[in-house]
Amino acid sequence: MKSTFFTDRTTQLAGTYLAIIMAMSMLFSGVIFALANDQMRRPEPQHRNIPDNSLESQAIDDVLRARAERSAGELLLLLVFLNLVMLVFGAFFSYFLARKSLEPIEQAMLAQSRFVSDASHELRTPLAVMQTTNEVALRKKSLTLPDARKVLATNVDEVIRLHGLTEALLGLLSTESSENTRQNVDIKEQVDSAMQGVAILAEEKSIIVKNTVSSKIIPVDIQTLDHVLRNLLDNAVKYSPSGAEVLITSEEHGKETWLHVIDKGPGIAPEHHEKIFERFYRTDEARSQHANGGYGLGLAIAKTLSERAGMKLKVASEIGKGSTFSVRVS
């Protein structure tokens, strides 16, 4: 539903556009009428052999004057009709133009409002946990050292969660001002570099991350590709069971080069495939069941960055069969 604010602004802007259109139309109509009327009323040279003051000459002048007045009246009516037509069509065109002008601003403001609302909701959760834990501890008449340590540990976990969320939010905002610069790199080496970012997490879960990408030199935005790959690999390792394998492969489709990150996680239902790239979106099947679930920002960042760099990001997944995230790098 369109907000009342933008509905009013659309009407006001459409009115302004219409006023400008009608002012120009009436100005041109006035100029056309004045020039035409002047030409029609200009005295005609007298016919030869007819005296200027004769009755015949006066009759000719009367006829010409009447014709000029009739033509001027017809021209005025035509111009009035054309301005009425311009008013009708101008109103529709002005509204259409106003919507086109305000639509990007409206979408940006709605997205900003949704972002602030979602971010506030995400920040509220760890703060509420910390507040509740501390309040319960304060109500105890005697707080043992193990209990105090437990409270502090909970607070630290929530602080880490807040820190991670803050970093994710900053990462999302940084995409608004990111610049794309392409360089020739070996795509296999770039994947190896991105794998280092998830090495510790993979080791903790005894997950093997295997790179089978073919060596190929292509021009890419290194920072964007590294960020996207690290995000996809982090996602794959995070949601894969312990001892599983995460595979990175490459595929050629004509002039296009695709990288695939394949995991053995819980999978994602088809109805969630598009929504997982939205900010703060987390599916029940793939994310909410995991205690180490993210904030629903990583894929949104990866999607935004990849599109700005001319890449394409997509997912293929089924419940219970893992997921394959693919990125077109050229």
CA distance linking residue 191 with residue 214, whole number of Å: 10
Query: Could you report the per-residue pLDDT of 8-36, keeping only the tens digit for each?
Result: 788 888 888 888 988 988 898 888 888 88
Mean pLDDT of 218-241: 85
Instruction: Say what the pLDDT of residue 286 is.
Output: 41
Query: Residue 327's closest CA among 209, 186, 214, 231?
Result: 231
Q: Does residue 260 surpass a pLDDT of 90?
A: yes
Q: Does residue 193 surpass a pLDDT of 60?
A: yes
Please check whether residues 209 and 317 belong to one and the same domain: yes
Please check whether residues 126 and 63 belong to one and the same domain: no
Q: Does residue 189 surpass a pLDDT of 60?
A: yes
Query: Could you report the per-residue pLDDT of 167-184, keeping only the tens digit for each?
Result: 666 665 665 555 557 788
Please check whether residues 50 and 143 belong to one and the same domain: no
Instruction: Say what the pLDDT of residue 109 is.
Output: 78
CA distance linking residue 228 with residue 330, whole number of Å: 14
CA distance linking residue 30 with residue 319, whole number of Å: 71
Q: Does residue 239 surpass a pLDDT of 50?
A: yes
Instruction: Say what the pLDDT of residue 56 is.
Output: 63
Please check whether residues 247 and 271 belong to one and the same domain: yes
Q: Which of 159, 176, 193 is the last residue of a domain?
A: 176
Higher pLDDT, 309 or 18: 18
- The residues, ordered by sequence, that sit 6+ positions from 36 with a Cβ below 8 Å of its Cβ are 71, 72, 75
Please check whether residues 188 and 317 belong to one and the same domain: yes
Q: Is the dihedral of CA 306, 307, 311, 316 positive or negative?
A: positive
pTM metric for this prediction = 0.53
Please check whether residues 104 and 171 belong to one and the same domain: no
Residue 60: what are its φ and ψ, rounded to 5°?
-65, -40
The pairing of beta strand 208-211 with beta strand 245-253? parallel
Instruction: Say what the pLDDT of residue 288 is.
Output: 45
Torsion of CA 20, 24, 30, 36, to 10 degrees: -160
**Confidence tier at 285 by pLDDT (50, 70, 90):** very low
Instruction: Say what the pLDDT of residue 212 is.
Output: 92
Please check whether residues 53 and 23 belong to one and the same domain: yes
Q: Average model confidence (pLDDT) for the chain?
A: 78
**Confidence tier at 291 by pLDDT (50, 70, 90):** very low
Instruction: Say what the pLDDT of residue 90 is.
Output: 87
Query: Could you report the per-residue pLDDT of 198-218, keeping only the tens digit for each?
Result: 888 888 889 999 999 888 898
Please check whether residues 95 and 128 belong to one and the same domain: no
Instruction: Say what the pLDDT of residue 25 is.
Output: 87
Percent of the chain with pLDDT over 70: 76
Please check whether residues 265 and 210 belong to one and the same domain: yes
Please check whether residues 191 and 293 belong to one and the same domain: yes
**Confidence tier at 154 by pLDDT (50, 70, 90):** confident
Instruction: Say what the pLDDT of residue 1 is.
Output: 44
Please check whether residues 196 and 282 belong to one and the same domain: yes
Please check whether residues 87 and 107 belong to one and the same domain: yes
Number of domains, the chain? 3
Instruction: Say what the pLDDT of residue 139 is.
Output: 84
Q: Which of 61, 89, 111 is the last residue of a domain?
A: 111
Query: Could you report the per-residue pLDDT of 65-104, keeping only the tens digit for each?
Result: 777 778 878 888 888 898 898 888 888 888 888 888 888 8
Q: Which of 68, 91, 111 is the last residue of a domain?
A: 111
**Confidence tier at 248 by pLDDT (50, 70, 90):** very high
Domain ranges, residue 319: 182-328
**Rounded to 5 degrees, what angle do the CA atoms 120, 171, 132 make?**
35
Q: Is 229 in contact with 261 (CB distance < 8 Å)?
A: yes
